[in-house]
Structure 1
């Protein structure tokens, strides 16, 4: 069971192992959220006694009756403090029949506090470098979902890049880093996997709006550089469309293999270095759009898409050289999608905003990806380059790690 909140007879004064009472009170007083909003479980939900060291302990024989809500027990058992790796205690503020949970996760070692908002644990600052992605997926919430477009493009790409089989994912734990609006998340859930979807931006909320509260789907807003999980608990880890948008792609990759179980499999991709992407019109426009406010940059990207999409279609009709001429335009080739015209336009707008509004663009190469996989100690390494550079590997088998235990 999820352990109950630590409640003292005095009210909100409480301490955790590894931190003295005064230290915790200083941290509590410096919390940026007003004290009136930090509502802890009242003392009558359980009896507590004070030990010699001054910490509060719950007396045995009084089970906790709070509802865990959408942050289910299976996810909670896998969570750890991203700062120090310590265990997390949970304080439940609200939870109703709609499984909406609000509360706090408190580290028992370093006394860090992380909010749980709308049932999603949040381990990142409210404002961060990925804000453009949050705005992007809020505006184009269903522009890439196979279920919304009636196509199989995302499904085909997922299994092509991972080389996994749908039957292999049944009842396995899969960690997806950079889920966005849930493009590949819904594919994994449809295969019967237990999926933990992680995103650094507010796109995690768009993902939840798209896919809902499936019992096999867990949402976490976290940082790839400090993932809030116990190491070695996932059968599969995938990270698509993320590494080349990080400030440090190599450091972001290094956080992924340690999440694998022995025998677990990893699949990543990264954009290759392209001359026209670095020196062509896309780079020129980025000099402007990365300096504009996000709302203005999005309006400019939409306007540019409306101007260039007809030109792209005309160039595509030119025999032999049409496809090469299209690459000169800073717009993704979306004319091949078998969707309605308005859906194709929205997909083109999304691709344009993605190219022009992202703060970082750090492409890679096949040799670097292969070296990352080798340095991580993976085996059965495979790399290839088509539209993107894809890398795959497997964690070597060794003594089986223990399954997560209830905290």
Structure 2
């Protein structure tokens, strides 16, 4: 009886708990990670079940559209009858036979990978939508409980940007109680921490911190405080004043159009590329095993992402001026060479050695070129 309960538990956790947990984990990430464990156990459990069902529905639609696009039967070993048969075996405290196991395990693992990947993607995308300025300002029902994020990061309506302006950082003046007297500090907010139980501020960290030094005539001067980060605990804070600093937003209609085209192409190409994992036969591509198909997909996805960043650099050079194309170019060359062993032309280690030699050769050329340019100035 105990073994039967364990099998059912594993089955339910795999299908109805893990997808929802992954979705919630990526939705409550970054500055909202403490909200992942907030709320009573039953509430979190119900949200996890609901999230898992949502992921299963979206994954089913994804597999359905992939089947229509490629006009092929996906995961042929998985069907309603197969799942029912395995579930009946577990219900009767039996395990699938070796023949049944080896007939379905590969497709079942691919199916689980797709569901879990969809959970991560939906959670990440939902977070991006929830913290967008429009949703934060006009759809408060989707706002996180960590209200400090919206005030500290300039995500409130009162953070007026003006025409052709965009948010840069937040400055603050903080009045604190110290040694029976009050002092005021000013600086840029670099980070903050909140209490996981009630979302109240625990401490705030400032950069370029200065202290207000008042003179006898009522005037004051700002005295710089040495150090990189200045921490102020919330229990000493009497008042906080926030100032949102904006910067000029470089907008070119043509660049913006190319930006959206680049991002849309990357999103569509990524979905099509990742969908090949669930297609048994890809025309003109013969892989010796699923492992090589997986490496092909991931390697191609990395190359696609690096090409996307190169286009970003040239579309908006002002925004990505700190990024250089040369490291991306070297990485693309390194990744392209990996197709030699992925398509089984040569072995992995020989290909890897060739990659390292070419990488060093190109890197040396770039270094010498940079030195020559610097010397000529």
State the TM-score, normalizing by the size of structure 2: 0.18
- Which structure would you say has the larger Rg? 2
Looking at secondary structure, tell me which structure has more helix per residue: 2
TM, length-normalised to structure 1: 0.17
